[in-house]
Copies of this chain bind each other. A is one copy, B any other.
């Protein structure tokens, strides 16, 4: 019942979103995206979650405040 989806590295997620890996790190630190940490401290992201975010699944997304237009 567990979703064994693949994990993505910060760099891969950054490429998917076309942003700097540092930005992905900030998202994780802010709790906007779930993250798994390796014993070494590096982050890994669930592909399914990233996909959902990329798909524009804004229905159940956070940070969707009052009509805040995109930057």
Contacts and interface: CB of A to CB of B under 8 A. Distances in A.
Interface in A22-39: 23, 27-28, 31-39
User: In terms of DSSP, what is the predominant structure of the interface of chain A?
Assistant: loop
The contact size tier of chain A is: 35 or more
A1 interface: no
Contact of A7 (B18, B34, B38, B60): B18
Given A33-B39, A35-B59, A62-B62, 18 more contacts: A7-B17, A7-B18, A8-B18, A17-B36, A17-B38, A17-B44, A23-B38, A27-B39, A31-B60, A31-B61, A32-B40, A34-B58, A34-B62, A34-B63, A37-B57, A49-B62, A49-B63, A64-B66
